[in-house]
Structure 1
């Protein structure tokens, strides 16, 4: 029996995934969580064989949670799910050693097959996602540029970002200018769009 921890914050999707997995005679869902920061505690309690993690979770994202999970429970393998296979996310997932990466609109039988292959220690990666990730390249943004641009994407002003990150507003504007230049964008809004499409923020 393959024991599964499922992390998905959208209730209907989580219920549908759980119902789909419970149809499989060799798969058992032993834990369900809605936040990324609940993943490791739940995994330590239930000892799953495979953790199926949504990439976009409140608290901590699925990729970040997977790194801590691998440190705390190395026998648990990780299958990351995403609604959009953004190239930057795929590159980041691969760099973190994630065994499997699947888009949510894949056919239902692909999920069960991916779970079994992941449990066996095999890599399960959509070839188109990997190809797009390699073609797009690594993020040109520094960690601070990524952080500032991510804050701007959520609607924060330069002054608000400066207060949150303990920087001056001028320094924040310099980081934004750097991000605009490095993404080849016309302005801040365009830089946010480019970075989000690539999965860099």
Structure 2
């Protein structure tokens, strides 16, 4: 029996997935959570074989949670569900060392097969997503530029970003200006939009 933790913020979707997965003869949902902050405690308590995580969750996104799971419960495999079939999103998932990555609108039997695959150590990636990532553009931003832009996307000012990252305000502004220039954006808001659309944030 493959034990599964399910993280999905939409209650109706979470309930439907839990019911459908529990109909599979070899899969049991042992925990079900609605927010990113609940994931790691639930994993540590239940030690599931596979954590099925929505990429967009309140509090903490699925990719950040996956990285924390790999630290706190290395035996638990991670499978990301997303409605965003963007090449940059898949690259971020691979960088987070997730074991599987499939689209939310996949048939439930494909989700069940993906769970079985990652449970035995295979990496399972939706074929369409893999091809899109192969053809997609590489992110032109450095990790630091992405980090600064991510804070800006959350609404932080240059001063607030500087405090969090232990940088000078001038350095933060330089990173934002450089990121905007690389993305051919009109301003930081446009840079955030472009980076999000590309799946880099």
TM-score, length-normalised on structure 1?
Answer: 0.87
The residue aligned with 2:11 is 11
Higher alpha-carbon deviation: 165-174 or 56-65: 165-174
> CA 1:14 to 1:149, structure 2 compared with 1: closer, same or farther past 3 Å?
same
Deviation at 1:10, TM superposition (A): 2.1
**Within the alignment, does 1:45 sit opposite 2:45 as a pair?**
yes
Higher alpha-carbon deviation: 65-74 or 163-172: 163-172
Deviation at 1:131, TM superposition (A): 2.2
Deviation at 1:156, TM superposition (A): 4.4
TM-score, length-normalised on structure 2?
Answer: 0.87
User: Does the CA contact (< 8 Å) of 1:91 and 1:138 recur in 2?
Assistant: no
Structure 2 unaligned segments of length 5 or more: list them.
Answer: none
User: How many residues get paired?
Assistant: 201
Tell me the C-alpha RMSD between the 2 structures.
2.2
Distance (whole Å) between structure 2 residues aligned to residue 87 and residue 31 of structure 1: 30
**1:3-152 aligned within 5 A:** 3-152=3-152
SS of residue in 1 equivalent to 2:32: strand
Distance (whole Å) between structure 1 residues aligned to residue 62 and residue 149 of structure 2: 20
SS of residue in 1 equivalent to 2:172: helix
> CA 1:135 to 1:15, structure 2 compared with 1: closer, same or farther past 3 Å?
same
SS of residue in 2 equivalent to 1:28: strand
Structure 1 unaligned segments of length 5 or more: list them.
Answer: none
Deviation at 1:100, TM superposition (A): 0.7
Distance (whole Å) between structure 2 residues aligned to residue 59 and residue 81 of structure 1: 17
